[in-house]
Amino acid sequence: MRTLTPLHQLAAEQKSAEVTDWAARISWVVGLLLFIALVYWLMRQGWKWRGSLQSDLPELTAAPDGLAGETALLTLTGRYHASTTAGQWLDRIVAHGLGARSRAELTLTARGLDVRRPGATDFFIPAEDLREARLDKALAGKVLPEGGLLIITWAHGGTLIDSGFRSDRAAEHPAWVEAVDHLTSTTEGTAR
């Protein structure tokens, strides 16, 4: 008869413990799923609460009739990222669908900026409500390389709003800043 060395004896004793407590494991998984559902529900309630706090913001302006036949100064295809209170890059506005990210088609005319968003609310910013355009890197939690976002500041119902867009061709952004700023200076000159 062969004697076992301590190493062989140790190897012979080690084996995996059998899983016998399935109820405890299933209850942990169910508890984790319920926790995830609770966090999701709380986030959704927070979004609704933010929308109710911003309920004093008037409905968005629709594009005026005859705008389609007007000469476009610039067009842009890209993404709409968010709108925030001007100067407050984390204070997202969610009222009237402004919090929903989407594809966007922008058309700048002498009458204003037409924003078409498939799957989200379209809106129009009259030229007299446009304030400025600039390049930035962050808006409502979205951070991109320097100059990666086109930010257009506009007035709506007594509130200044920053809306962020990113063109499919980022090289278009400086032309947009120049065109919007030119339009706002022209509009301000005629309003005086």
Q: Convert the pLDDT of each residue in 36-77 to its tens digit.
A: 999 999 999 988 888 888 888 899 888 888 777 788 899 999
**Model pLDDT, residue 16:** 60
Average pLDDT over residues 154-164: 92
Two tokens, residue 145? 């390389």
Domain range 74-191, its CATH number among 2.30.29.30, 2.40.50.140, 3.30.70.2200, 1.10.10.60: 2.30.29.30
pLDDT band at 141 (very low <50, low <70, confident <90, very high): confident
CA angle centred on 41, ends 38 and 43, rounded to 5°? 110
Q: Partners of 116 in the beta sheet?
A: 105
- Above 60 in pLDDT, residue 191? no
Confidence of residue 2 (pLDDT cuts 50, 70, 90): low
Q: Using alpha carbons, list the distances in angstroms from residue 103 to 73, 90, 129, 131.
A: 20, 21, 23, 23
User: What backbone phi and psi angles, to 5 degrees, belong to 7?
Assistant: -70, -45
Pick from 9-23, 47-61, 96-110, 149-163: least confident: 9-23
Per the CB < 8 A criterion, the answer to whether 161 and 153 are in contact is yes
Taking the C-alpha atoms of residue 54 and residue 166, their distance in angstroms, rounded to an integer, is 25
* Range from 28-32, 138-142, 148-152 carrying the lowest mean pLDDT: 138-142
> Which runs of consecutive H residues, i.e. helices, occur in the chain?
6-13, 22-53, 173-191
Q: What's residue 67's pLDDT?
A: 78
Q: Any idea which of 13-17, 29-33, 168-172 has the lowest mean pLDDT?
A: 13-17
pTM of the predicted structure, to 2 decimals: 0.74
pLDDT of amino acid 14 = 63
Sorted by where each begins, the domain ranges of the chain are 24-53, 74-191
Binned at pLDDT 50, 70 and 90, residue 189 comes out as low
